[in-house]
Each structure stands twice: as structure tokens, then as C-alpha cells.
């Protein structure tokens, strides 16, 4: 029996069918999208990779890495491709621009737009462009146009586009993307703001763009004109603050003292769940919420909880700061959120954070409640009243209606 079942498990068609049924369970609702995933041979876009990895819906296949180990290009995980294509709601006959090539996602889009639609894919890297073209041709999708350019300027020669699908991490929305979008168009983009990335589906609004939906997602970083580098402020060899904007002048020696001084813990009584949404709520509650990254050594010493090695959003007041934590709630079987706070004003900053946790739990604990606006610099209407992050070409504003 083993002899006959082994080869079947390695059959790309069998693996693909399994991937599609898994995606149907939690990600894909549209029949057209399920159909596209069912027919495009993903393995032809990642030659040499083990088939089980190619058809594992959560695995991204890195195809190019920089000298410092940063991933520069990949065939994105099927799961996130499915999420973004659901957000895009692509219909037959549409004109689509894909930013960041690889071939596979463009082939899925080609299936969705059909013979009356058009798909242009652009990549900054000539090697990736050549690969994508060759793979698309081999898989029978030669009609996908693959261009080499910095997507900062879009691809004006084939605009306007009904959909612009950005498959690389963006820090801003260049004017060209909005200019090249049709009146009813939609941009789906993994957009970084406040130190976090969310895949946002933006429709046009009076003053620019407004989110229709958003979800969690990470991508390789944008190169070229739109490159973004986060600001890093080392506190000592074991702790670093990271933030999107410039260093506002943190009192590093005082923060170093606070980290190694006593800490207090305070509990909110509020349930802890939907951590991604809670994190978005916290980072958009104050003008600047840096992330603290600590070494394993500080975790081992008990100074921080393990979560801080991956970065914890902190509320700061002078040289005092707090970050959130959780503990099991024996009464409910769920989790309770709380905070650890450090520094001379630990009590005050802990109280502020706990108040936020309570407000989140009572008013906003639903998925997808934030409204994200992109307001181009050219739009009139002044500065937003709520939270916003200045960008090069405009501002990202987040509100919690």
C-alpha cells in the first residue's frame, strides 16, 4: 500500500487540491478564487523547492536574499495571497497592476480577469523580471505583461487600473498609484504605519483613500525610491527602541536605569484576545508608541517577558514605560490583560495603559473596527483630528469609530 500512496502524495495536483480545500476552510469564500488556485501550477513558479513546501499554504518561498540575509524576493505564502485577492474582489475584464513580481500571483490574477482583462506586473529587479517571464510562459500565462521599473512611479503606459495589488511592504502610497487608479478602483497594499504592517484594501474617498478592510500580513521590504528604514535607538547592548519616525530625543541613560530598576505589575480585569487588533489600538492611541526589543539575556534574567524579544509596543512617559502582558483567568478559562511598568513614574504610565486595555475591551473588541484613511499631501482638508502618521506623500490616519 505504501508503494502506491507515496507517489500520490508527491503529485502536485493532489497537493494543490489539499491546499485549496484548506484555504477554502478559513480564507477563500469566492468560487472564482478557489478555481484560480485549483488550476495554477504553483510548483512551476518555484522550481527545485520541495513540493510539500510549495503547497503548504503558510509557507513563503524566498527566491532572493541580500548580503545581510534580508529576503528581497519570494513567492508569497498562498494564504496571504488568498487573503489579499479576496480583499481585491477582482472581476472578469478588469485591468490589474501587480507591484512585485514572481509570476504565481500574476497567474492567479490572469485567471480572475479572464481573456477580456489585462494584467501588468512590475518588479524593480531585472533577475526577478526574467524569472517571472520565463515561469509565466512555461505555465501558459504569456499574456501577463512583466515590466522592469521602480513601482514608485507605477506603470503609466497601461493605466488606468481597476485594481493595484501591492505584493511588497510599502511605507507610503506614492501619488502615481492613486493617479493611475480608475474612478472605482481599489488598491490592496501591505502598508506600514506606527511600526506595524496591515494589508489594507483602499477605495477612493473624497480626500484620498479609505480602508474597506484590513488584515495582518508581512512582506519583503520595498526597494528603490520608496525604501524605508526604521529608527533604532540602542538603550544598551541588550535593549533597543525601534520606531517609524525620527528619534524624538529619548532620555537613553534614564531609560537604561529604568529597565534595570524595579518593575510593577497591574492587571486590568479585561479579557485579553484578538492581540493584533489590540496592538493596533495601542499604537494608534498616542502620537508615538515605540517598540522595545530586548535580548534573550534580559528575558532569562526575568527583566522582561519572552514576548519582548519580538518587540513590545511601549507607552512612554519621560523615562518611565509600560508594556502589556497577560495571565490566565481561572474563572473564565480565558486570559486577562495587564501591564508591567518601569521607572520613576511607573504607576502613572501603568494606569494609562490599563485604562487603554479596559477601553479596548469594552468598546472596540471586534475584528476590523479601525478606519484607515490615506490623505495625499495634495488633498485639501487640513490635518486629521485623530491619530495620524506623516508620510512622504501624505498622511495615514487611523480612527476607531
Task: Give the binding site for ligand SAM (CB under 6 A).
Answer: 72-76, 98-105, 122-125, 128, 150-152, 167-168, 219-220, 222-224, 226
Q: Strand 312-317 vs strand 291-294: parallel, antiparallel, or unpaired? A: antiparallel
**Minimum CB–partner distance for residue 251 and ligand SAM (Å):** 36
Angle at 280 between CA 279 and CA 283, to 5 degrees: 85
Could you tell me how many residues make up the chain?
401
Burial readout 317-333 (b: 16 or more C-beta within 10 A, e: otherwise)? bebbbbbbbbeebeeee
Least gap, CB of 132 to ligand SAM (angstroms): 8
Place of cell 485549483: 38
Q: Supply φ then ψ for residue 229, to 5 degrees.
A: -125, 125
> Which residue from 364, 354, 349, 361 is spatially nearest to 316, judged by alpha carbons?
349
Task: Using alpha carbons, select from 205, 192, 323 the residue that is nearest to residue 266.
Answer: 323
Distance of closest approach, residue 128 Cβ to ligand SAM, in angstroms: 4
DSSP 363: I
Which C-beta is closer to ligand SAM: that of 125 or that of 172?
125
Which one of 57, 73, 74, 76 is the catalytic residue?
76
Spatial distance between the Cα atoms of 107 and 78, rounded to a whole number of angstroms: 13
> What are the backbone angles phi and psi of residue 235, rounded to the nearest 5°?
-90, -45
In this complex, which beta carbon is closest to ligand SAM, that of residue 150 or of residue 317?
A: 150
Q: How far is the CB of 245 from ligand SAM (least distance, A)?
A: 22
To the nearest whole angstrom, how small is the minimum distance from the Cβ of residue 162 to ligand SAM?
18
Rounded to 10°, the helix 104-113/126-139 angle is 50
The yes-or-no answer on residue 380 being catalytic is no
Q: Which is nearer to ligand SAM, 177 or 353 (CB)?
A: 177
Q: How near is the Cβ of 328 to ligand SAM at its closest, in Å?
A: 38
CB atoms within 10 A of CB 120: 23
Residue 124 or 139 having the CB closest to ligand SAM? 124
Q: Is 35 exposed, middle or buried (0-12, 13-18, 19+ CB in 10 A)?
A: middle
DSSP E strands, 194-302: 196-205, 208-216, 231-236, 239-243, 263-271, 291-294
- Complex with ligand SAM: residue 148 or 240, whichever CB lies closer: 148
Angle at alpha carbon of residue 191, lines to 164 and 314, rounded to 5°: 170
The nearest distance, CB 400 to ligand SAM, in angstroms, is: 30
**Residue with smaller CB distance to ligand SAM, 125 or 336:** 125
- 3-state percent helix, strand, coil for the chain, nearest multiple of 5: 35, 30, 35
Residue with smaller CB distance to ligand SAM, 103 or 290: 103
Q: Is 34 exposed, middle or buried (0-12, 13-18, 19+ CB in 10 A)?
A: middle
Q: Which residues are catalytic?
A: 76
Amino acid at each position: 500500500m505504501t508503494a502506491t500512496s507515496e507517489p500520490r502524495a508527491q503529485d502536485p495536483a493532489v497537493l494543490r487540491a489539499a491546499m485549496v480545500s484548506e484555504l477554502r476552510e478559513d480564507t477563500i469564500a469566492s468560487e472564482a478564487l478557489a478555481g484560480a488556485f485549483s488550476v495554477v501550477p504553483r510548483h512551476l513558479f518555484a522550481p527545485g523547492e520541495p513540493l510539500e513546501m510549495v503547497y503548504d499554504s503558510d509557507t513563503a518561498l524566498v527566491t532572493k536574499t541580500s548580503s545581510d540575509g534580508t529576503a528581497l524576493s519570494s513567492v508569497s505564502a498562498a494564504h496571504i495571497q488568498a487573503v489579499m485577492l479576496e480583499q481585491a474582489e477582482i472581476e472578469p475584464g478588469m485591468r490589474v497592476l501587480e507591484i512585485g513580481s514572481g509570476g504565481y500571483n500574476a497567474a492567479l490574477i490572469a485567471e480572475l480577469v479572464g481573456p477580456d482583462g489585462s494584467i501588468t506586473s512590475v518588479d524593480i529587479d531585472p533577475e526577478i523580471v526574467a524569472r517571472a517571464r520565463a515561469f509565466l510562459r512555461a505555465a501558459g500565462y504569456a499574456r501577463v505583461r512583466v515590466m522592469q521599473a521602480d513601482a514608485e512611479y507605477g506603470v503609466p503606459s497601461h493605466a488606468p487600473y481597476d485594481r493595484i495589488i501591492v505584493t511588497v511592504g510599502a511605507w507610503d502610497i506614492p501619488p502615481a498609484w492613486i493617479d493611475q487608479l480608475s474612478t472605482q478602483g481599489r488598491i490592496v497594499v501591505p502598508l506600514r504605519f506606527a511600526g506595524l504592517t496591515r494589508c489594507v484594501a483602499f477605495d477612493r474617498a473624497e480626500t484620498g483613500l479609505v480602508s474597506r478592510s484590513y488584515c495582518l500580513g508581512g512582506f519583503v521590504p520595498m526597494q528603490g525610491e520608496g525604501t524605508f528604514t526604521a529608527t533604532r535607538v540602542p538603550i544598551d547592548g541588550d535593549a533597543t527602541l525601534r520606531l517609524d519616525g525620527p528619534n524624538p530625543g529619548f532620555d537613553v541613560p534614564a531609560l537604561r536605569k529604568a529597565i534595570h530598576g524595579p518593575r510593577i505589575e497591574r492587571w486590568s480585569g479585561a479579557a485579553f484576545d484578538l492581540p493584533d487588533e489590540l496592538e493596533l489600538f495601542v499604537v494608534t492611541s498616542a502620537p508615538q508608541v515605540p517598540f522595545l526589543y530586548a535580548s534573550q539575556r534580559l528575558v532569562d534574567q526575568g527583566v522582561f517577558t519572552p514576548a519582548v524579544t519580538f518587540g513590545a509596543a511601549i507607552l512612554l512617559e519621560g523615562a518611565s514605560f509600560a508594556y502589556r502582558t497577560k495571565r490566565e483567568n481561572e474563572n473564565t478559562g480565558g486570559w486577562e490583560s495587564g501591564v508591567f511598568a518601569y521607572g520613576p513614574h511607573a504607576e502613572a504610565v501603568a494606569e494609562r495603559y490599563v485604562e487603554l486595555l479596559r477601553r479596548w475591551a469594552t468598546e472596540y473588541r471586534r475584528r476590523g473596527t479601525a478606519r484607515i484613511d490615506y490623505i495625499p499631501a495634495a488633498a485639501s482638508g487640513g490635518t486629521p483630528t485623530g491619530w495620524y502618521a506623516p508620510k512622504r506623500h501624505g498622511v495615514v490616519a487611523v480612527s476607531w469609530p
